[in-house]
Amino acid sequence: MAAPIQSLLNEICASEDPIEELKTLRTAVFSTPVSGLRQAVSGARLEIIFGLLNTNDKEQIELCVEILSRFLQALEPIQLAQNYKTALQSGLSHPDDSVKVLTLTQIGRVAAQADGVTQMLNSTEILCDVIQCISVERIAVAKEAIATLSKLSNTKAGLDALFRSDLLNKLKDVMLTNDIIRYRVYELIVEVSSVSPVSLGYCANSSLISQLLEELTGDDILVRATAIEMVTSLAQSQHGRQYLAQQGIMDKISNMIIAAESDAFSSLYLPGLVKFFGSLAIVDSPQQVCEKYPVFLEVVFSMAMNLDPTLTPVALDTLGVLGGTVEGKQVLHKTGEKFTSVLKRISKVASDGATELRVRCLEALAQLLTLPAEQQTDDLLLLTESWFNCLSSQPMAMIRNISTQPFPELHCSALRIFTAIGCQPWGQQLMMDTPGFLEWVMDRSVGTGKEAKDCKFELVGALLSSSSAQQIFGAHNYLKLKTYLNEGPYYINAVSSVTTEGAD
């Protein structure tokens, strides 16, 4: 294949209008495995294709980008850096964004290799252009630039180059473009900081993290909301949380939640504050977070009780994630009547609220009621049973009624609640005591979509996963459930019929 590709390149070089030849070459390179292209690339005159990028013809640029993306995959990153440095630098300033994306992707490959980092550090102009690409309007270009610089920062040499040279000033200059670009740079800083305590130290010393933290209390509400998202991402790593705690950020965000009550625009940033503590509780400790910052749980309960299209969904998601852990369940249980009232409110909205909110309520309830076999102690089983019973005077009928309504998303979300309690002995006993329930579960005509079939199959699997299943359901039902499971989610009962015509 090497010879035909070289021949096609020669034809392209000699053509004044190479569109058809480029199409032929594209077919040739894409029909050749990458491993087979390596031999062709070693002697190929790729500069011909790079040269053809210098045009205003969109179709020609598109063909060249496709061809080069395939060709360059066959090159080792170090070969790219050594042999196509000038072409890569030209690509970063090309007016067509697809060329920039291609170039940044290839530079990212180079930056991911130890030898490649050395090559990149010798090309300060290229790194400056990569930083400049963060300010390009098209987000795909900026994302590739951020990813490339993040890879570069995985080595000490890369960190030194980015944070202890003129490149840092370039980064700060780019931030001045506008709010959007400034936050793209913050995204890079948070990404780099999350790698290790060392990389966090570099970012902190650059003053860019402290600049981000100051924006938490800025006058621009939308900027404040975006800053909260960034800080939440920084809190995902243990060293990030330690740094934020040392800077007093947890206390600051707690105070922001308190102050939000008297702020008419708080609905724009309060969800972010709640997500911050919700995320913190999951990666750290629900009990410690809720005890140290009691306002967090108070505001979540308030958001769940007061139906607000912006705030309530966040509260439901937070309660679901928090209550999905054993420690979170215990924290919620300790609040007593406060949480019971919230559960009843969620149950009411699940029954008669707007469809999207009903789905969020059902999903939250499923997470709250989930208790895998390895976590099932007598106390926790009593807890989940009490939560289920407070949903309604007849919670089984309520959830089943929701599942029969003509909305697939409601049907599946309701089934997930049954799945949550399906491996718990008290839940199995309720199902056994509910007339027709097991027959309904095994009726394959109920819920005909793929997702519905998958959810029903998951429910049956949950019922059989418990060691108490055979005793509670009895041998006959247990065998029917096993048969259902063995047949799979998409089994269709074969019905044969014989029709006799003309027999009077």
In angstroms, the Cα distances linking 393 to 58, 281, 389, 405, 482 are 66, 32, 7, 20, 32
Cβ neighbours for 20, distance < 8 A, ≥ 6 positions apart: none
* Domain-located, residue 34: yes
- The string of pLDDT tens digits covering residues 454-477 is 999 999 999 999 889 999 999 999
Write out pLDDT tens, residues 47-67: 888 989 999 999 999 999 999
CA distances from 1 to 12, 19, 70 (A): 17, 21, 15
Query: Does 191 reside within a domain?
Result: yes
Contacts of 53 (CB under 8 A, 6+ apart): 61, 64, 65, 90, 91, 94, 96, 99
306 pLDDT tier (thresholds 50, 70, 90) = confident
Say how many domains are in the chain: 2
Q: 478 is written with which tokens?
A: 């247990």
Q: What pLDDT shows up at residue 494?
A: 60
Residue type, 123: S
What lies within 8 Å, CB to CB, of 319 at 6+ separation is 300, 304, 332, 342, 346, 364, 368
Instruction: Please report whether residue 445 resides in a domain.
Output: no
**Are 415 and 459 a contacting pair, CB within 8 Å?**
yes
Report the amino acid identity of residue 185.
Answer: V
What's the whole-number mean pLDDT along residues 258-277? 90
Q: What pLDDT digit, counting tens, does each position of 412-452 carry?
A: 999 999 999 999 999 999 999 999 999 999 888 877 788 88
Same domain, 134 and 226: yes
> Residue 215: which domain range?
96-102+112-247
Q: What is the mean pLDDT of the chain?
A: 90
Are 128 and 231 found together in one domain? yes
Residue finishing a domain among 247, 265, 300: 247
User: Do 151 and 40 have their domain in common?
Assistant: no
Q: Answer yes or no: do 174 and 234 share one domain.
A: yes
Q: Is the same domain home to 149 and 67?
A: no
